[in-house]
Each structure stands twice: as structure tokens, then as C-alpha cells.
Amino acid sequence: MKNIKNWQKNLIAAAILVVVCAGIYMNWMYNNAQSVGDFTDTLDAEKVMSQDGILLDAEDVSSNDTLVDYFAAVRLSRQQARDSAVELLQEAMAYGEESQTEESSAQLELIVQTALTEAQIESLVIAKGYADCVAYMSEQGISVAVASPEGGIQQNDVSVISDIVLTQTEFTLDQIRVVEVV
């Protein structure tokens, strides 16, 4: 009977891990599909003009790539930390006693829920018209790093982002940090 319970718990943990990995992969695919290409290879960067006649130079294009790289690096770092934690929890579940297995299972479920909530917040912020963002939740609060819109982040932008966080989490307004990434 005990082997069946352990088998069921391991199956549930594996299923949760598969769902988290699938969500991360889908998020990665979505972000890669939206990345901005570097047109300096095909166009003369000195002569690229918008309809308004504003000259764009190679520096403008590369700074956009740097911004995309920043968000990708933060997501990768966050995912690597979670992967390490999930691996340790799975080992604890596999080799630990029943009390450790239950605690590890609860922690694994919390990691999954946190990842899903962060992804949902990021999707909603992007849906509101912001170029990109990364949310990071901890016990103390949540930080949302947002790509700087034209003209910089205004009070209205902070209100919109805070409203999204408030509706998706149980954090209070004083636990929300909005960071502008330039």
C-alpha cells in the first residue's frame, strides 16, 4: 500500500513538472517569436528612415536587442533556479520519509503555482501594450520589470501594472514593485 502511495505521489510530481516545463517552453517560444530582428545585415543602418524621416542608426537597433537579451537572461536565470529547487525536491520526495515527501510535494506545488502566476502576469502586462516584462514573486512581494515605453513609465502605467498584480495575486499595493528597464 505504501509503494502505491509513493508511486502516485511521484506520478503527480512528474505530471506537475511536465506541465511547468511545457509552460516555460511555450513562454520561451512566444518570446522568441516576438524578438526583434537585427536589420543591419540587410539594410544600410546609416540610411534606414522612418516615415517621419527620422534617421535610425545601428546604436538604436542594438539597444533594442540588449533589452530583449535582458528579459531573456532574467527568465533563464529564474528558470535555472527553479529547476534546481525542483530537482532537490524530487530527490527529497524519492528518498525521504513520508513527512518529508508531503512537505516537498507542497513546496513543489507552490513553485508551480508561482511560475504560473508570474507567467500569467507577464502575459497580461504584455497584452496591455508593453513591449516585454518579467515578474518575480517572493514571500515578501512581487517585482515587475517592464520595458520602458516611449516617454518612460508614468503613474498611469504603474497603476495598470499594479492592478494586474492585485487581481492575480494576494499581494497588497505596498508589496508591489514596478521597475522600468531602459
Strand order in the sheet with 176-181: 133-137, 142-147, 176-181
pLDDT of 2: 67
Yes or no: say if 118 and 100 are a contact pair by the CB < 8 Å rule. Answer: no
Mean pLDDT for 39-54 is: 38
pLDDT band at 100 (very low <50, low <70, confident <90, very high): confident
What lies within 8 Å, CB to CB, of 177 at 6+ separation is 141, 142, 143, 144
Name the residue with higher pLDDT: 23 or 119. 119
Rounded Cα distance between 167 and 145, Å, is 18
pLDDT tens digits for range 128-139: 999 999 999 999
Helices in the chain by DSSP H: which ranges? 2-33, 58-95, 98-127, 155-168
CA pair distance 182, 131, nearest whole angstrom: 12
pLDDT level of residue 1 (50, 70, 90 thresholds): low
How many Å is the Cα radius of gyration of the chain? Answer: 21
The boundaries of the domain holding residue 32 are: 2-36+45-181
Task: Say what percent of the chain tops pLDDT 90.
Answer: 35
How many domains is the chain partitioned into structurally?
1
Is 80 exceeded by the pLDDT of residue 11?
A: no
pLDDT of residue 13: 72
Work out the average pLDDT over 64-71: 73
Query: What mean pLDDT comes out for the span 64-70?
Result: 71
Q: Cβ distance 21 to 116 under 8 Å? A: no
CA-based diameter of the chain, in Å?
Answer: 75
Provide the CATH number for the domain around residue 159. 1.10.287.4300
